[in-house]
Amino acid sequence: MSPEELTAAIDALLRDHPPATTDPHEFFAARFDAGLAWVWVDPSDGGSNAEPALQGLVEQRLTEAGAPVPGAYNPIGIGMCGPTLLTHGTPEQRARYLRPLYTGEEIWCQLFSEPSAGSDVAGLAARARRDGDDWILDGQKVWTSFAHLSHRGLILARTDPTVPKHNGITAFVVDMHAPGVDVRPLRQLTGDAEFNEVFFDGVRIPDGDRLGDVGAGWRVGTTTLMNERVSLGGAIATREEPGAGLLESYRVAAARGEGNPVRRDQAIQLWIEANVNYLTAVRAAAGGNRGKPGPEGSVLKLTSAEFNQRAAEFQNDLLGPAGALLPAHEMRRPTLPYGSMGIPSTQTTFLRSRANTIEGGTSEILRNILGERVLGLPGDVRVDKGVAWKDVPR
């Protein structure tokens, strides 16, 4: 599709489905069918075979028109599982899963981390054994965001323990409502239980829900993680007009007579960082749109997470002693879309920001990736290199 044809398709979408009066799920369905979900892919996958760079045009026009954002309704599905399906899914899997994922009818979660395999996710122990046309899945996952709302999960499981860890992993799509799946809440510092621990006890997965080849799960998982970093970094960097909230907080504090040159300098420094992160997010999204994000996704995730923590701390400090008082701490189970539970307090935002440098890869791990893969520095110590997974002490 040419830019002119794409513009005409956007005009028609907005004319036939005015965002102000259309149910968001209906709007997403119409957007998918119009080839405006991921413009660079085939029409059957929600695209229009257009230049990837034109995705920015679609986002800009729809944002200006006040259209709902699919990522707010299915964050892990849109940010990570969708791009992974586009890259590794068979035509049947893409036809079955992409549209309901995009419309938010089927919420997705990402089942990678385990109690002993977070940073070292390739060391995971959940087992899938072949049984005729099915696989039988046993094991535990942890920190699974939105598992309590999910219909589908993208899971990595060990299918061959006799080879080195990266080679014995296979990726699957698991039905989160299948017999043997048990989702339990895990409470966070904020009091909310946004994530979960998930137990799998003899869960059957049809071989048709295997994503990629047997033993090729690490490649599938890497696609997910690279997209996660773009998605998380992008969300952090583009949450609002970059830095505007920081300046507003400072103005409010100054009006109370609590401004001073040091705090003003801090506010301006953070505003500059917010804008640098925003520009990096725009660059990373251009790569991410093609389903093949580059290292700038990891850079953005690293810098945005650390920036976000400093910004949240600054805003909380401006509250003075009130910053130490949490308005409420009951356990809530977050719902979607984002924002449906109300705007979190400054204190809660400060507490939630502590997770930013852990989720989606810790800052230490991202620095390792940058050092090794971007700067070409000597690698981290790896005592399990070339050793069969079953022979690695754990």
Ligand X SMILES: Cc1cc2nc3c(=O)[nH]c(=O)nc-3n(C[C@H](O)[C@H](O)[C@H](O)COP(=O)(O)OP(=O)(O)OC[C@H]3O[C@@H](n4cnc5c(N)ncnc54)[C@H](O)[C@@H]3O)c2cc1C
Nearer to ligand X, 113 or 266 (CB): 113
The verdict on 349 binding ligand X (CB under 6 A) reads: no
Q: Which residues contact 199 (CB under 8 A, 6 or more apart)?
A: 139, 140, 181, 182, 184
Distance CA 81, CA 77 (A): 5
- Closest separation between CB of residue 163 and ligand X, Å? 21
The verdict on 344 binding ligand X (CB under 6 A) reads: no
The verdict on 350 binding ligand X (CB under 6 A) reads: no
The verdict on 304 binding ligand X (CB under 6 A) reads: no
The verdict on 112 binding ligand X (CB under 6 A) reads: yes
Active site residues: 228
332 φ/ψ sector (left φ>0, alpha ψ -120 to 50, else beta): beta
Alpha carbon separation from 222 to 9, 280, 387 (Å, rounded) = 33, 21, 21
Distance CA 389, CA 383 (A): 12
- Closest separation between CB of residue 104 and ligand X, Å? 17
Decide the pairing of beta strands 134-142 and 210-211. Answer: unpaired
- Determine which residue in the list 56, 189, 362, 371 makes contact with ligand X, applying CB under 6 A: 362
- Selected range binding ligand X among 6-14, 19-27, 143-151, 245-253, rule: CB under 6 A: 143-151
Decide the pairing of beta strands 169-175 and 210-211. Answer: antiparallel
- Selected range binding ligand X among 59-67, 88-96, 111-119, 320-328, rule: CB under 6 A: 111-119
* 3 state SS of 88: helix
Distance CA 34, CA 195 (A): 34
Element (H, E) at 155: strand 152-158
Count of CA atoms in the C-beta half-sphere (13 A) of 134: 8
The verdict on 316 binding ligand X (CB under 6 A) reads: no
- Selected range binding ligand X among 8-16, 230-238, 278-286, 355-363, rule: CB under 6 A: 355-363
330 φ/ψ sector (left φ>0, alpha ψ -120 to 50, else beta): beta
User: What type of residue sits at position 292?
Assistant: K
With CB atoms as reference, the residue minimizing the distance to ligand X is 118
The verdict on 119 binding ligand X (CB under 6 A) reads: yes
The verdict on 380 binding ligand X (CB under 6 A) reads: yes
- Closest separation between CB of residue 118 and ligand X, Å? 2
Which residues on neighbouring strands pair with residue 174, listed in sequence order? 153
Nearer to ligand X, 87 or 224 (CB): 224
Binding-residue pattern over the window 179 to 208 for ligand X, x denoting contact by CB under 6 A: ----------------x-------------
- Determine which residue in the list 84, 87, 144, 190 makes contact with ligand X, applying CB under 6 A: 144
The verdict on 361 binding ligand X (CB under 6 A) reads: yes
For residue 207 the two structure tokens come to 């071989």
Site residues (vs ligand X, CB under 6 A): 109-113, 118-119, 143-145, 195, 355, 358-359, 361-362, 364-365, 368, 380
